[in-house]
Amino acid sequence: MREFDFLEPATVQEASRLLAEHGDDARVIAGGTALMLGMRQRMLAPTHLISVARIGRLRGIDIDAQGWLRIGALSRHVDIARSALVRQHAPVLAEMAAQVANPQVRNQGTVGGNLCYADPSTDPPGCLMALDACVVLGSSRAERTLSIEKFLVDYYVTALEPDEIVLEIRVPPQAALAQGAYTRFLRTAAEHRPLVNVALVAHNDGGVCRQARLVVGASTPIPQRLRRVEALLDGSRVDARLAAQAAAMAAAEITPLSDLRGSAEFRRDMVRVVVLRTLARLFGLDINEGVAA
């Protein structure tokens, strides 16, 4: 690992100016779980690390006057998993955060850093997309808000401008009124990165699905919201037959990755299985997956 300067701005404006000044030679560090690994492997060699740990604007989990859940970018995964406010207003988010990677990463990694890295095989982005969450970005110029769908652009690519940092994540109040289920599939018990994850947020109205938001992640370059499947589910009574139809449609709708961890064909079939499991959990179904997984 080559030498670098460690900078500690105290404000968003100062951090933004440092990013603009040092350009591609600088990297923002929050929890550092992904960044330090990249530096140790010599995939990254920044001359300046800009720590955002002293910026109070990035901390805290609270509810604003309009009922939105606000999660500071420096919130660790374990903070989200344990937060009484998150468990009350978006319990599926707490459920997801408790499963991220491993205890070391959950106790060090931050949700803001996770989103900025845009690793396709991670947990928070898809769950946040299903919750219709937004990301607030800041610089010395201004603040702006993007939906998760617009923030995540491509494989390891986000909509962040070079002088911007993530300030907070905001979850709308209607998320608290819906039920949610989050399911991940690991290729082996020793792995910490899911091969497939599925987030479903919907109203279970006596077995009838309303206002479904279904997102598949980890098997696609960025989390993919499945609107055709949502349309199939909305207003319908979810039984084992409809769940199987929705799961098959979900598998057909995605554009899966193919790499050393799994072929596109395998990922597509596992998406079908995991969507089926997720629907079964949320709607209390007794299902036959039709495949050993």
Q: pLDDT digit string (tens) for 207-241?
A: 999 999 999 999 999 999 999 999 999 999 999 99
Phi/psi at 58 (nearest 5 deg)? Answer: -95, 5
Q: Which tens digits make up the pLDDT trace of 96-107?
A: 999 999 999 999
pLDDT(290) > 80: no
Using DSSP's 3-state secondary structure scheme, residue 94 falls into: helix
pLDDT(151) > 70: yes
pLDDT(293) > 70: no
Q: What pLDDT does residue 93 have?
A: 97
| DSSP notation for 224-289 | EE-HHHHHHHTTSB--HHHHHHHHHHHHHH-----BTTB-HHHHHHHHHHHHHHHHHHHHT-----
Q: Which tens digits make up the pLDDT trace of 109-130?
A: 999 999 999 999 999 999 999 9
- Percent of the chain past pLDDT 90, that is, above it, reads 92
Q: What pLDDT does residue 185 have?
A: 97
> Which domains, from first to last, does the chain contain?
5-51 (3.30.43.10), 56-174 (3.30.465.10), 178-283 (3.30.390.50)
Average pLDDT, the chain: 95
Closest by Cα among 203, 183, 184 to 193:
184
Q: How many CA atoms lie within 13 A of 205 on its CB side?
A: 13
Q: Which tens digits make up the pLDDT trace of 23-40?
A: 999 999 999 999 999 999
Output the six-digit token pair for 213: 């938001």
At 12, is the pLDDT very low, low, confident or very high (cuts 50, 70, 90)?
A: very high
Q: Which tens digits make up the pLDDT trace of 38-74?
A: 999 999 999 999 999 999 999 999 999 999 999 999 9
pLDDT(292) > 60: no
pLDDT(149) > 60: yes
Q: What pLDDT does residue 176 have?
A: 65
H helix and E strand count, the chain: 12, 14
Look up the pTM and report it.
0.95
